[in-house]
Amino acid sequence: MLEHSLENPPQNDAAQPFTGRLLEVALGYQQALMRNPRQPQALVGMSLVALASRQTEFAVKMAAAGAAAAPGMIAAWVALGQALKAAGRNDDAERAYATAIRLDGMHPLARLGLGELKLAREQPEAAAQEFALALQRQPTLLAAHLGLGNALALMRRDQEALDRYEQALALHPRLPEAEFAAGFVLARLGKTSEAETRYRRAIAARPDFAAAWINLGSLLREQGRDLSAEAALRRAIALRPDLVSGWINLAALERERNRPAEAEHCLRNALALNCDQVETLIAWCQLRVAQRDTAGAWEWLRRALAVDPDQNEAINMEGILLHHDGRFDEALARFDRAEALGNRAAASNRGNSLLEVGRFTQALHTHERAVECDPNHAGAAYNLALTQLRLGDWERGWPGYEARWRFREVHRTPRIFAQPRWHGEVLNGERILLHAEQGLGDTIQFCRYAALVAARGGHPILQVQEPAERLLRSLAAVRAGCAETAILGSPLPAFDLECPLMSLPAVCGTTVASVPWLGAYLAADPDVVQEKWRTFPDARPAPRIGLAWAGNPRYKADRQRSIRLDTLLPLLRSAQSKIGANWISLQKGEAAEQLAQLPEDLCVRDGSSRDRDLAETAALVATLDLVITTDTCIAHLAGAMAKPVWILLPHLADWRWMQEIETTPWYPTAQLFRQTAPGDWAGVLDRVIRNLPS
């Protein structure tokens, strides 16, 4: 994910004509030089005028002549340093500044120039010392305050940097460069509203400030305000189509909006500006990852590493691709390297790879350290919370899980309500909107909390996905008139407070020992159950077993949790010979089409592919003796109905199933069958077969 970046305006060596006041000043110096071609003050003056007109080589020539004419003139050496720096001749510039400092060790402009050179060389500690020395002599030197702030920001000393920018603004109120820089560090400090205000102030003072438009657009993108972000980024590009960062940020926005053609257009423009800029090559890699084009992602990443083998984000991205490929030990080594080079996301990524190899305690400590190093990194906070929940530390995990609202990979466009959030206070009949936010399984798992909200004096309104709405009418609180249901996307009923369904465990202080469970909380309509019995009578006197094997393919980790039906053939054959089971498919979506590919000697009846909602599926589940499923919403449905359910889990299952346990406090009738090694579904099925009833 791209971070905001401080603007570093390029120098332009092209000769430009003197205009306005500069022309008048230049003519005065020319007249002085006609009288005395070695007049040092006039030579230095001409150098400064030329520098202001971006005639850098002429500025160097004039300043060098001035220094030669008056070797003891400090101003001449400072002017030469400024001209050489503008011309990109940094080593020569440093020697010129050093000469000025030998003549006057505390000369503020010489120290300022030397500090700017150190900053350009990414030596912020040395730069900060130079800026501080300049300010000792001249406390009101505006550029030194800005330079010191920039050096502190590069050292991640953001609050100190902000203090320095505020001092610059006290000297020069509404200075656009200072407002812009303050916005940058405020964003990193997590103060997004204040950061936005500063960027807008910078733009108000300088409407053509392209970098401020870019950073504003990036900030708005991170908040899910996509239309406003696009407008800001397109304004930046219109002002400065030569700024690669504008195209990269717009490409990131288009990628997140699932508009790959538009993202590619932006990246082609960035590539045309500089085919070797590592940030552009990494952005191409990220786009290919989003398109699930692993080979393409590796191709772009290799190009980036060829340009700069030590670029920390390229190495971090290499770790991500290795992680996706299941090469976790190699990924750990790359994340270590990226972190050593200063990458802020690598530690959290390393924690995720440690989870994959079963080093859970070390993973927890790694995630904790990642948050300590960067408390405002939403992804790090989110990963820490999931690890805490996985390992049973729910007292810290549930509150930490609120970081998902700041993490765009979970919620790109969080819902914003005028009504306040409910935080668990006693209610006196207030209508509280409990709204679904993720998958159907999550809705089924957490809708049980409506009873607790009603018990605290509120009137819950469960706003859920349409396939779940009719099912949730079976909740006791809804049937008793103490709660009601609504469909996501439909007009909202009146309400006083709101709370996301998945925030309720934090609000209620849920621990492993206090999961709400008084028995089945969802049920099927008895009339529909009878209809299902008639539609799917027993083919033989044997257990009725429901089967589901694939979840939502759009879920990021679906490749790990879902399987193909033919993977279950050993189970189907064994059960056929052992108990002669009546198999009924509860599978929905494209995966249900795999039923047609079963061998002729096996029979699994299609029970759910045409169900219009989960209420119909619940009626079929009510007729079953057992449900066997991978991690799908069917697992939650069977568990919420208190049906025996066997859940087949990958080696590193979803956090909600915790770790190394065979039961779950969420559903007492569930039994968990976990892989003992990544991809080992055969071992899982072997244990399932051994547990089949005789």
DSSP 58-93: HHHHHHHHHHHH-TT-HHHHHHHHHHHHHTT-HHHH
**98: in domain:** yes
Count of domains in the chain?
Answer: 4
Report yes or no: 677 and 408 within 8 Å, Cβ to Cβ: no
What Å distances lie between residue 284 and 99, 109, 302, 345, CA to CA?
A: 46, 42, 11, 19
CA angle 610, 588, 404 (to 5 degrees): 130
pLDDT band at residue 23, thresholds of 50, 70 and 90? Answer: low
Of the listed ranges 265-279, 343-357, 543-557, the one predicted with least confidence: 543-557
**Sign (positive or negative) of CA dihedral 188, 191, 195, 198:** negative
Dist CA 512 CA 489 (whole Å)? 33
Residue 650 confidence (pLDDT) above 50: yes
pLDDT of residue 17: 38
What Å distances lie between residue 74 and 48, 63, 104, 466, CA to CA?
A: 14, 11, 8, 77
Dist CA 366 CA 351 (whole Å)? 5
Summarised one tens digit per residue, pLDDT across range 72-124 is 998 888 888 898 898 889 999 899 889 989 999 889 998 999 999 999 998 99
Nearest to 182 by CA among 170, 172, 194: 194
pLDDT of residue 474: 97
**Cα distance between the two ends of the chain:** 54
**352: in domain:** yes
Domain ends where: 493, 514, 535? 514
**Domain co-membership, 557 together with 662:** yes
**Domain co-membership, 327 together with 400:** yes
**Domain co-membership, 547 together with 570:** yes
Residue 520 sits at φ, ψ, to 5 deg, of -55, 135
Instruction: Residue 62: give its domain's CATH number.
Output: 1.25.40.10
Task: Name the one residue in this structure whose structure tokens are 């970098």.
Answer: 211
Residue 605 sits at φ, ψ, to 5 deg, of -80, 140
| Two tokens, residue 306 | 């060829």
pLDDT of residue 14: 33
Residue 643 confidence (pLDDT) above 80: yes
In terms of residue numbers, what domain contains 29?
25-104
Nearest to 614 by CA among 588, 649, 590: 588
| Two tokens, residue 365 | 């400590």
Which residues on neighbouring strands pair with residue 544, listed in sequence order? 582
Summarised one tens digit per residue, pLDDT across range 670-688 is 999 999 998 999 999 999 9
Summarised one tens digit per residue, pLDDT across range 379-394 is 999 999 999 999 999 9
Report yes or no: 148 and 154 within 8 Å, Cβ to Cβ: no
Dist CA 185 CA 199 (whole Å)? 11
**438: in domain:** yes
Buried/exposed code over 337-369 (b: 16+ C-beta within 10 A; e: otherwise): bbbeeebbbbbbbbbbbbbbbebbeebbebbbb
Chain Cα centroid distance, residue 282: 16
Dist CA 642 CA 666 (whole Å)? 11
**121: in domain:** no
**193: in domain:** no
**Domain co-membership, 547 together with 651:** yes
Domain ends where: 104, 129, 163? 104
**544: in domain:** yes
Dist CA 15 CA 12 (whole Å)? 8
Say how many C-beta atoms besides its own lie within 10 A of residue 72's C-beta.
9
Q: Give 296's Cβ-side CA count (13 Å radius).
A: 11
**Domain co-membership, 494 together with 569:** no
Report yes or no: 140 and 171 within 8 Å, Cβ to Cβ: yes
Residue 6 confidence (pLDDT) above 90: no
**Domain co-membership, 559 together with 671:** yes
Of the listed ranges 14-28, 459-473, 539-553, 660-674, the one predicted with least confidence: 14-28
Dist CA 271 CA 274 (whole Å)? 5
DSSP assignment of 511-524: -GGG---SS-----
pLDDT of residue 160: 96
**Domain co-membership, 556 together with 663:** yes
pLDDT band at residue 215, thresholds of 50, 70 and 90? Answer: very high
**76: in domain:** yes
Report yes or no: 486 and 495 within 8 Å, Cβ to Cβ: no
**74: in domain:** yes
Mean of all residue pLDDT scores within the chain = 91
Dist CA 600 CA 649 (whole Å)? 28
Nearest to 379 by CA among 419, 407, 359, 405: 407
**Domain co-membership, 612 together with 498:** no
**Domain co-membership, 554 together with 659:** yes
**Domain co-membership, 356 together with 458:** no
Average pLDDT over residues 189-207: 95
Helices (H) and strands (E) in the chain, counts: 34, 10
Residue 10 confidence (pLDDT) above 60: no
Nearest to 2 by CA among 228, 229, 197, 166: 229
Dist CA 293 CA 275 (whole Å)? 21
Of the listed ranges 30-44, 319-333, 398-412, the one predicted with least confidence: 30-44
**Domain co-membership, 540 together with 679:** yes
**Domain co-membership, 489 together with 555:** no
Residue 223 confidence (pLDDT) above 60: yes
More confident residue, 146 or 223: 146
Report yes or no: 453 and 433 within 8 Å, Cβ to Cβ: no
Dist CA 645 CA 628 (whole Å)? 6
Three-class secondary structure of residue 544 per DSSP: strand
Q: Exposed (0-12), middle (13-18) or buried (19+): which is 157, by Cβ within 10 Å?
A: middle
Instruction: Residue 484: give its domain's CATH number.
Output: 3.40.50
Buried/exposed code over 58-67 (b: 16+ C-beta within 10 A; e: otherwise): bbbbbbbbbb
pLDDT of residue 43: 84
Residue 3 confidence (pLDDT) above 50: no
Domain ends where: 78, 104, 130? 104
pLDDT of residue 40: 82
